[in-house]
C-alpha cells in the first residue's frame, strides 16, 4: 500500500509529507486508517534528534485514532470497522504487562523508540528500502498505520475520532498520574507545575476526583486562564516566589505535586511545596544536572515518584475517560486545536512555542492512494 506520511529527516525544521510503502498486517497486527493524530513534545524531541534514540529518517506520531480496515489472522478482539485509539507498544507477557502497567514493559524502550519491530523489521519502506517506523508501535503521522492488536483500544462508536488521539499519551499521562499514581481523593490538595496537555489533563482529573485545592502553576497567563476554566481553584504565575505563593494558599503544603516541566528549579519547588508525607510526581527528566535535597525528602517523609503513561492500563482507562467526557466531567476537547495534515509544520511550531496546548492533525482526507 502506498500512503502519505510525515517523514522526519535530519536538518528539517519539521516533518514533510512524502509517499511511503506500508506492509500488510502480520498475524497479531491490525491495519488502521488514521483519522487524526495528536502531537506531543516527545514527537518534537524525536524529530530534533540528539535526546531520544529514535533513528532518522522516521515516521513519528503516537497519539493516533482511526478505523480498523484489516486484521491479521491471529487477531481475535478487533474486526474491520472498529474505531480505535492507538496506545504505546508493549509485550503483554512481562511482569509489568501482566500487572496492567504496560508503560513499564520490559521491552518498552526498544518497542517505543527503536523505529523497528522487535525482530528488527519496519512496516514502512520507501523506494524499496526500509524506513524507520513503528514509533510507539504505530507511527501515526500517516494516512494508515500498522499496530499490534493489544495496543489498539476499541472505543465507542458515538464519539468523534478527530478528538480522541491525545487520550493515548498526553491525557492518560496527566489524568493517570492523579487518579492512578497518587490516587488523589476527595478533600486533598494538589499543585500542577506546567499546564500544557499533560498538566491540563491532571487539573481536570483532580476536579473529577474531588480535590479541595487544585493549584495551577505556569508562566503563561492564557494557559492559567484555561486551567481555571477546566477546574483549577487557584492560579500561580511561575517565578522564584512560586513556593511562597503556594504555601500562602495551603500553609501546611499540598498533598501532591505534579511537575510536567524539565526545569531543575521546578523539581525543587515541587518538593518544597509538599506537606509532610506528600508525593512529588514527575513525568519528564530535568535538563542538565539536578540533585534532590535529600534532607527535605527525609525530614518530611516525602516521596519523589516518576510516572510513565499515568500508571494506567489504556484498555480500561481510555474508555473510562471517554465516558467521563461524554458526561461533561472531563472536557479535554477544550484544549485541542485541529490542523490539516499538510499544515504539520505550523502544528509543530505551535506545539513547540506553546501557542497551542494540544495540536491534533486531521489526517483522513481525499488523496490517499494504494498500490
pLDDT class of 371 with cuts at 50, 70, 90? very low
Q: Is residue 190 part of a domain?
A: yes
Pairing of strands 124-126, 16-22: antiparallel
Q: Is residue 270 part of a domain?
A: yes
Q: Quote the pLDDT of residue 340.
A: 97
Q: Is residue 124 part of a domain?
A: yes
Task: Note whether 15 and 164 are same-domain residues.
Answer: yes
Task: Note whether 301 and 211 are same-domain residues.
Answer: yes
Q: Is residue 102 part of a domain?
A: yes
Task: Note whether 132 and 208 are same-domain residues.
Answer: no
Task: Note whether 104 and 218 are same-domain residues.
Answer: no
Under 8 Å between Cβ of 87 and 66? no
Task: Note whether 228 and 276 are same-domain residues.
Answer: yes
Task: Note whether 178 and 164 are same-domain residues.
Answer: no
Q: Is residue 321 part of a domain?
A: no
Task: Note whether 266 and 340 are same-domain residues.
Answer: no
Q: Quote the pLDDT of residue 368.
A: 38
Under 8 Å between Cβ of 54 and 132? yes
Q: Which one, of 332, 334, 333, 336, lies nearest residue 359 by Cα? A: 336
pLDDT class of 50 with cuts at 50, 70, 90? confident
Task: Note whether 133 and 215 are same-domain residues.
Answer: no
Q: Is residue 51 part of a domain?
A: yes
Q: Quote the pLDDT of residue 365.
A: 52
pLDDT at 369 over 70: no
Q: What would the mean pLDDT of 251-259 be, rounded to a whole number?
A: 98
Task: Note whether 11 and 141 are same-domain residues.
Answer: yes
Q: What is the CATH number of the domain that holds 16?
A: 3.90.180.10
Domain boundary among the residues 308, 323, 340 is at: 308
Q: What is the CATH number of the domain that holds 261?
A: 3.40.50.720
Under 8 Å between Cβ of 53 and 113? yes
Number of domains forming the structure of the chain: 2
Q: What would the mean pLDDT of 213-220 be, rounded to a whole number?
A: 98
Q: Quote the pLDDT of residue 52.
A: 84
Q: Is residue 316 part of a domain?
A: no
Tens-digit pLDDT profile for residues 288-324? 889 999 999 999 999 999 999 999 999 999 999 999 9
What is the span of the domain harbouring residue 254? 174-308
Tens-digit pLDDT profile for residues 100-147? 999 999 999 999 999 999 999 999 999 989 999 999 999 999 999 999
pLDDT class of 331 with cuts at 50, 70, 90? very high
Task: Note whether 254 and 198 are same-domain residues.
Answer: yes
Residue with cell 475520532: 161
Task: Note whether 222 and 349 are same-domain residues.
Answer: no
Task: Note whether 137 and 216 are same-domain residues.
Answer: no
Q: Is residue 48 part of a domain?
A: yes
Amino acid at each position: 500500500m502506498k500512503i502519505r506520511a510525515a517523514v522526519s529527516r535530519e536538518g528539517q525544521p519539521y516533518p514533510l509529507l512524502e509517499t511511503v510503502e506500508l506492509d500488510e498486517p502480520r498475524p497479531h497486527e491490525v491495519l488502521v486508517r488514521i483519522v487524526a493524530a495528536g502531537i506531543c513534545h516527545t514527537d518534537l524531541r524525536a524529530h530534533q534528534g540528539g535526546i531520544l534514540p529514535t533513528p532518522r529518517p522516521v515516521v513519528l506520531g503516537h497519539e493516533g485514532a482511526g478505523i480498523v480496515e484489516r486484521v491479521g489472522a491471529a487477531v481475535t478482539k478487533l474486526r474491520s470497522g472498529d474505531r480505535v485509539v492507538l496506545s504505546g507498544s508493549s509485550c503483554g507477557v512481562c511482569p509489568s504487562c501482566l500487572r496492567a502497567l504496560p508503560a513499564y514493559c520490559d521491552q518498552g524502550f526498544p518497542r517505543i523508540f527503536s523505529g523497528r519491530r522487535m525482530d528488527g523489521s519496519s512496516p514502512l519502506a520507501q523506494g524499496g528500502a526500509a524506513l524507520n517506523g513503528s514509533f510507539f508501535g504505530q507511527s501515526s503521522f500517516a494516512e494508515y498505520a500498522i499496530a499490534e492488536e493489544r495496543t489498539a483500544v476499541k472505543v465507542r462508536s458515538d464519539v468523534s475520532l478527530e478528538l480522541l488521539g491525545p487520550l493515548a499519551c498526553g491525557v492518560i499521562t496527566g489524568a493517570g498520574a492523579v487518579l492512578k499514581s497518587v490516587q488523589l481523593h476527595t478533600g486533598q490538595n494538589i499543585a500542577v507545575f506546567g499546564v500544557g496537555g499533560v498538566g491540563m489533563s491532571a487539573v481536570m482529573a483532580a476536579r473529577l476526583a474531588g480535590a479541595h485545592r487544585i493549584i495551577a502553576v505556569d508562566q503563561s497567563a492564557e494557559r492559567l486562564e484555561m486551567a481555571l476554566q477546566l477546574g483549577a481553584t487557584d492560579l500561580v504565575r511561575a517565578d522564584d516566589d512560586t513556593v511562597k505563593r503556594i504555601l500562602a494558599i495551603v500553609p501546611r503544603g499540598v498533598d501532591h505535586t505534579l511537575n510536567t516541566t524539565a526545569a531543575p528549579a521546578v523539581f525543587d519547588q515541587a518538593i518544597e511545596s509538599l506537606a509532610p508525607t506528600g508525593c512529588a510526581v514527575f513525568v519528564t527528566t530535568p535538563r542538565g544536572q539536578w540533585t534532590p535535597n535529600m534532607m527535605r525528602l527525609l525530614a518530611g517523609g516525602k516521596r519523589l515518584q516518576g510516572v510513565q503513561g499515568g500508571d494506567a492500563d489504556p484498555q480500561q482507562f481510555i474508555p473510562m475517560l471517554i465516558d467521563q467526557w461524554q458526561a461533561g466531567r472531563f472536557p479535554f476537547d477544550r484544549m485541542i486545536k485541529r490542523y490539516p495534515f499538510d499544515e504539520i509544520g505550523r502544528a509543530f511550531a505551535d506545539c513547540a512555542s506553546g501557542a497551542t496546548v494540544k495540536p491534533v492533525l486531521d489526517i483522513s482526507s481525499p488523496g490517499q492512494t494504494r498500490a
